[in-house]
Structure 1
Amino acid sequence: MSTEFFKDTHPELKRLGIEIPELEKRYPTLMRMGISHDDMIYLARRISPLLQDSEKILDLGCGNCLIATLINKITSKKIIVVDQWKEMSMERAIENMEIDKAGLELGKINEEDKLPYPDNTFDTAYSVMFLFNMPKEKRDFLLQEIKRVLKQEGKLIVVDNFIFRGKMKREFSSHNFDQTWYGEENAFSFFVLKNVKKP
């Protein structure tokens, strides 16, 4: 391996054997998410084992796409990423994806917050620091969209600031998501939920 291989690589990625050159320049942190590169690396490592039994995976509100890129590198699973692409352009995301040879497919949440996928498409959807950064009316609609595109018994993983944990639990329950696991780590709430569809 070349001595230049990890020259500009983040120390934690170096430990994982993942090269993302110029990480801080190419993957800017987004105010909407409010988390650091270190947080994104930690969350990618934490979410990855929860995706082992999934084939069709959706990253909802992917932001700068770093978490999805790292999950792809860790698991070798293709990730479909969607956002509104207001803080980071889709063109820049595509450029990063090509540089890093990331197995991502990009999509866009439209102005009505509709997801561009058929019913029952995904085994798992995950969302990091996205859902609770929007007004409740939009969030309610997007949760219905997530239910629509998830398969019956499909998994929803939500990571957000733990100060919202009570509110999140109530809202997920009101949308017929059954909580299968909950944890708090490093000031994040981790919800793992099952999609229960009404007959």
Structure 2
Amino acid sequence: MSMFNNTHPEFMRIGITIENVDTRYKPLMRMGISIDEMIYLARRLYPLIRDGKKILDLACGNGLITVILSRLMSDAEFHAVDDWKKVSRDDLIRNIEIDKARIMLGEFKDQFTLSYQDTYFDSVYSVMFLSNIGKDGRVKISDEVYRVLKEKGKFVVIDTLVFRGKIKKDLEHKFKLDWYGEENGFSFFVWSK
């Protein structure tokens, strides 16, 4: 028996097991963050969305953040979308099965249109996506998020500090900013409908 197990120490701290995370979840250049940072961001997201029953990960990348959250929030219904151009949907499906996560995968109808009914989600979150889609994309996706969020629903945005001003300017026309913080090079926005 090896003196090292194959699960990340942070998972043991929060009471879940996800083995071989470093080999199964490939970092995504669009996100530009490490596995350790994804675990950290999932832990930071948890208190911000834990009251939600229907939750959407907007542009999920490799899906690790949502896998962690779905394991922590066993009574929530998780959905994750991406365009699946730089991430293997099949790999994520396999990882979801291995990690016994409950996540339904979707995709964008077109570049910024979500295939969900109006007022479906309690919470939507986005990690390192809005800085990659430009002003027009941020305005279009904010319209879609507004459409799929329930009244008083939350839109949590985590992105780089460099884009905090642009993200704020492009989303404040639709949402009310409930909280903003900066930590470890990330900006955290909690918007409400």
TM-score bracket, shorter-length normalisation: over 0.9
SS of structure 2 residue aligned to 1:109: strand
Structure 1 residue identity aligned to 2:108: I
- For residues 96 and 45 of structure 2, the distance between their equivalents in structure 1, rounded to whole angstroms, comes to 20
**Unaligned regions of 5+ residues in structure 2, if any?**
none
Give the equivalent residue in structure 2 for 1:183: 181
Give the equivalent residue in structure 2 for 1:41: 39
Structure 2 residue identity aligned to 1:188: F
Q: 1:135 to 1:168 in 2, by over 3 A?
A: closer
Give the equivalent residue in structure 1 for 2:135: 136
State the Cα deviation string for residues 166-196 of structure 1 (Å, max 9, x = none).
111111112x20000011111110000011x
Q: Alpha carbon RMSD of aligned pairs, Å? A: 1.6
Q: How many residues align?
A: 192
Q: Is the 8 A contact 2:130 2:167 kept in 1?
A: no
- For residues 46 and 173 of structure 1, the distance between their equivalents in structure 2, rounded to whole angstroms, comes to 22
Give the share of equivalent positions with the same residue, in percent: 49
- For residues 186 and 51 of structure 1, the distance between their equivalents in structure 2, rounded to whole angstroms, comes to 20
- CA offset at residue 15 of structure 1? 2.3
- For residues 51 and 173 of structure 1, the distance between their equivalents in structure 2, rounded to whole angstroms, comes to 20
Give the equivalent residue in structure 1 for 2:27: 29
Structure 1 residue identity aligned to 2:38: M
State the Cα deviation string for residues 81-107 of structure 1 (Å, max 9, x = none).
111111112111111100110011100
Structure 2 residue identity aligned to 1:27: Y
State the Cα deviation string for residues 92-151 of structure 1 (Å, max 9, x = none).
111110011001110011334210101111111000001111122222211111111111
- For residues 112 and 23 of structure 1, the distance between their equivalents in structure 2, rounded to whole angstroms, comes to 29
Provide TM-score, normalisation by structure 1. Answer: 0.91
Give the equivalent residue in structure 2 for 1:127: 126
**Unaligned regions of 5+ residues in structure 1, if any?**
none
- For residues 89 and 169 of structure 1, the distance between their equivalents in structure 2, rounded to whole angstroms, comes to 31
Provide TM-score, normalisation by structure 2. Answer: 0.94
- For residues 181 and 115 of structure 2, the distance between their equivalents in structure 1, rounded to whole angstroms, comes to 31
48, 62, 66: which one aligns with 2:60 = 62
Give the equivalent residue in structure 2 for 1:194: 192
- CA offset at residue 17 of structure 1? 2.7
